[in-house]
Structure 1
Amino acid sequence: MDLAKFVSLLDSRNLWLARSDTFKDQSEGLFPDEMRIAIQSAYESFEEKEGSPINNADDFQLYLCRNAYVSCWHKNIEENMVMWELYGRGGNTVAIQTTVEKLKTNISIIDRECIGFYLRNVQYSRPEDVKGQLSYSDPFFIKRPHFSFEQEARILLITYSAYRPEKETPLGVTVNLDLAAAIEKVLVHPDSQEWFVRTVKSVAAKFGLSAPVERGVYGNKF
């Protein structure tokens, strides 16, 4: 993330989850082929309800994606230069490091009617290769194989309600995160200048973050 997002994270103590259809990858959350055919067949067997906003698989897909919010994480023991290149362009960026257990322990539990809250690995498969019965949350954990280098795990929050379907939803939502307990380390872009490393350390100290702040090592400079 860039410095502004890092400051916002420390200041608000909230983790941002972006609405699934705001990602650059427009296939986010789309039903695999077999699942889409089954859903469309089910809608065709229903009696048409006058005034219903959802009448086919495309409608349902839209409403579901407009009510799904995601936080993406790179799952690795060490940092990854490709991830720095893709998501840390410009050099003035940071990455926060944690563990699955620390995320699960220190993130707020969402407990409300019609809400699903998940932390799972992403599966990399072609839409035509995904078979069998799936839950409505599963497509948000399936991405095309050429994204497999991301080694992604993600947090998913679903707010869709079959009784009160909404399409005009916020572009993102936040959940509380105990940063002091959750953040294990802050990594600064390995190719950033020294003044930026000092700035990140200063910002972390001002917000009382005790986790170490270190320059990353997998960059282009030697």
Structure 2
Amino acid sequence: MDIDLTLASPSVPVGDDVTLWRYLDFPKFLDLLASKALKMPRASSMEDPFEGVMGDGAMSATLEVQSANRAPSYWRHAFINKLQRESLWWRDRTYVSCWNAFPSENAGLWRIYGDEKGVAIRTTWGSLRRSFAGTADCVTDVFYGPVSYRSAETDFEIPPTYTDQYFVKRQEFSHEKEFRLMAHDESREHDYRDTSLEGLPAFATLPCDLNVLIEEIVISPRLGGWVQKTVEDVSRRYGGTWPVTRSNLYRPPPREIHRF
């Protein structure tokens, strides 16, 4: 299946020069090198159990709209539960690739995702976009864009579609400043009565040219300097031409300053 990229929120343009980071442990980095593909896990396997689900505020707003339309209480109850069931159904059939939109590396994200066993990919949206090559497995339409962080209780904006729900997260996750790729598995019949996960892939796979995708590999600041040579050697064995550097985040200041 050819990959068709669509901006999730046309009112929020994304420039090719937006810097993106992906923090990952070394086994996942090796898997990326070997497969030459981005693997997007199911939304239901991600840490946040509210991925793709409306918050209380949006649910309240939805019920108020139905009430204003004079829908009886039993119908409103059935309607909101229908939306909830369908949101949870799509969580098992939606795939997400998470990146972080910071101009430079982030100490907190090193702690969470990389720390003493990780590397970070530095790229730009333009390089990521141009890197896609070949055809995907179970997805075709891939949406992209920054994530908006809001209060689940006080945000009364109703997401227009199930797709839009994946570009809104609770404000407690705002430290991530996430930029994501998201796609639904549309290779199967949409039957909300079928809740079986049998045959559903755990990942959607997007083949890519790694030399276009990766602008730099940065090694965790908590790893020894000798790791840089190892990562360089492994990268070259898989045909990688990108530079490999070690983060100097915790390099101590000079004991003497030679400036005039």
TM-score (norm 1): 0.83
1:75 and 1:149 mapped to 2: Cα distance? 11
Change (3 A) 1:21 1:72: same
Aligned to 2:212: 181
Aligned to 1:218: 249
Unmatched runs of 5 consecutive residues or more in structure 1: 49-54
Deviation at 1:158, TM superposition (A): 0.9
CA shift digits 1:143-167 (9 cap, x unpaired): 1112111111001011156634554
Aligned with 2:102 (options 59, 71, 76): 76
Determine what percentage of the aligned residue pairs are the same residue: 28
Aligned with 2:41 (options 15, 18, 33): 18
Q: Is the 8 A contact 2:134 2:208 kept in 1?
A: no
Unmatched runs of 5 consecutive residues or more in structure 2: 1-23, 253-260
Matching of residue 95 in structure 1 with residue 120 in structure 2: yes
Deviation at 1:94, TM superposition (A): 0.5
CA shift digits 1:95-138 (9 cap, x unpaired): 11111111112224878998541111000001231414522111
Aligned to 1:51: none
Change (3 A) 1:116 1:31: farther
1:116 and 1:61 mapped to 2: Cα distance? 18
Q: Map residues 1-222 of structure 1 onto 2, 5 A cutoff.
A: 1-33=24-56, 35-36=58-59, 38=62, 56-89=82-115, 91-108=116-133, 116-128=141-153, 129-160=155-186, 163-165=190-192, 167=195, 168=197, 169-219=200-250, 222=252
Q: Is the 8 A contact 1:116 1:159 kept in 2?
A: no
Moved more, 121-130 or 66-75: 121-130
Deviation at 1:67, TM superposition (A): 0.8
2:129 and 2:123 mapped to 1: Cα distance? 10
Q: Is the 8 A contact 2:40 2:97 kept in 1?
A: yes
Aligned to 1:52: none
1:27 and 1:182 mapped to 2: Cα distance? 30
Say which SS state the counterpart of residue 50 (structure 2) adopts: coil
Q: Is the 8 A contact 1:126 1:144 kept in 2?
A: yes
2:164 and 2:180 mapped to 1: Cα distance? 12
TM-score (norm 2): 0.72
Greater C-alpha radius of gyration: 2
Aligned residues: 212
Letter in 2 for 1:29: G
Letter in 1 for 2:89: Y
Deviation at 1:194, TM superposition (A): 2.2
Letter in 2 for 1:12: S
State the Cα RMSD in Å: 2.9
